[in-house]
Amino acid sequence: MKKLRKKVYLTAGYNTISLGTGRSEFNPKKPMPGIEHYISEAGQNTLKKIGGPDKVDEIVVGNFMAARFNKQAHLGGFSGMIDKGLEFKPATRVEGACASGGLSVLTGIKNIMADFSDVVLSLGVEVQNSMKAIYGADVLAGAGWFQKRKNGHAYFFPGQFSDRAGAYYEKYGFDYTRKGLGQWFVNAIENARLCPTAQEHENKVPDLHALYNSRKPDGRFFVDDLTVFDCSKVSDGASAIAIVSEEGLERIGVSKEQAVEVMGVGHRVRNITQDPPNMVELTTIKKAAHDALEMAGITIDQLGTIETHDCFSIAGILATEALGYAEPGKGAGFVAEGNTSREGKIPMNTTGGLIGWGHPTGGTGVHMAVTVWEQLTGNAGNAQIKFNEDKPYAMSINMGGDDVTVVAMVYKKAQ
């Protein structure tokens, strides 16, 4: 496995709020902020932390479907709108469905590695509340092979992961699995309550287990094997972070105490025209995460926290198995026992993940990197967890489509 040929750091992360149902600011009857607002807010706040636009060599924007959600493509051209000082600097938009944000960060890392740049501004953004969910489902279906759309569920991606949940029920038991999925939901909301930018931050339901169990999967109303509580919500938001070399870190005047070092990366893509090779395994995540761990030279026992792509609760369960924390079929039990809670064996999604924090699709991968940066540098506020000396590493896993494109990264506080 190749190693990173030079040190690469992340710093100065920023998240907008994740806007959608659940936030008091959300009102579909009133005009809502457009994509320009989110790009500007995230970009400007990271620039403030690194000394302004003159320190930036290039910009990378991760986005999935602005061309359809907002009738706006060519997002690299908005960098000069963030700040006049960014105008005429190289800017690129990258796309890999829900992994677009991860690809934004990865592209920045590669450009630092290639000596093209010393300071890259990485952004991820999506504004999806521009259309009703049922119509948005048609847009989001583009994250899969659209030829399957005509035979798929009206809610295409909930249908895809409902099929995975159904396969897991059949193989390992319905009641057993639902306990794990329910605990994943509870963890997500409890963690989101600690993060002021999270979509579920204001969720005050006293008994989250009762809330989760108040609905049973019923294909007459939604999909066959999941409920709405198993799903991430429609979200608008953006995240930004600076990716820098050692020279870049000196240029922006940020101490290593406020930076994390990228220790390993994994990027795998499977054939989108084929069904998953195993309905109860996230095979691409398994491969990409292994690559990142191997490049970093560590094992899962050295990870202190993980941000994983829980677009649906079943994806969280399957991720524990793909990573090796639980044997096949044991992931639901692993979660139900509290092992992925913020004080468990391996805290996951400490600000709520996609179900709790929100899922502005093109922004999610950058949000994961920002959350890891916050945790490792002690900037996570009320959501801060404690790290043991023997577990100083963190990981993010950003997935596009049904385990099609995966970007995994391992980080450690800079020294």
Largest CA distance in the chain: 59
Mean pLDDT of the residues in the chain = 96
CATH at residue 118 = 3.40.47.10
In this predicted model, which residue has the larger pLDDT, 135 or 56? Answer: 56
Within a domain: residue 172? no
Within a domain: residue 144? no
In whole angstroms, give the CA distance from residue 138 to residue 144: 11
Beta pairing class for 119-127 and 58-62:
parallel
Within a domain: residue 251? yes
In whole angstroms, give the CA distance from residue 33 to residue 41: 11
In this predicted model, which residue has the larger pLDDT, 134 or 391? Answer: 391
Closest CA to 371 of 235, 144, 198, 220: 198
- Whether the CB-CB separation of 242 and 46 falls below 8 Å is answered with yes
- Whether the CB-CB separation of 49 and 259 falls below 8 Å is answered with no
**153, pLDDT greater than 80:** no
Within a domain: residue 16? yes
Tens digits of residue pLDDT in 191-223: 999 999 999 999 999 999 999 999 999 999 999
Tens digits of residue pLDDT in 262-321: 999 999 999 999 999 999 999 999 999 999 999 999 999 999 999 999 999 999 999 999
Instruction: Say how many residues make up the chain.
Output: 415
Q: What is the pLDDT of residue 149?
A: 79
Within a domain: residue 28? yes
Closest CA to 40 of 104, 109, 127, 118: 127
**154, pLDDT greater than 80:** no
Q: What is the pLDDT of residue 1?
A: 57
Tens digits of residue pLDDT in 86-133: 999 999 999 999 999 999 999 999 999 999 999 999 999 999 999 988
How many distinct structural domains can be found in the chain? Answer: 1
Domain region containing 116: 9-132+235-256
Considering just the CA atoms, what is the radius of gyration of the chain in Å?
A: 20
Tens digits of residue pLDDT in 117-127: 999 999 999 99
Tens digits of residue pLDDT in 306-324: 999 999 999 999 999 999 9
Within a domain: residue 51? yes
Using CA atoms, how far residue 232 sits from 104, 139, 271, 302, in Å, is 21, 16, 24, 29
Within a domain: residue 382? no
* SS3 call for 118: coil
- State the number of CA atoms in the 13 A half-sphere of 42 facing the CB: 35
Within a domain: residue 184? no
pTM: 0.97
**27, pLDDT greater than 60:** yes
Q: Residue 250: which residues within 8 A CB-CB, separation 6 or more? A: none
* SS3 call for 21: coil
Q: What is the pLDDT of residue 165?
A: 98
* SS3 call for 251: helix
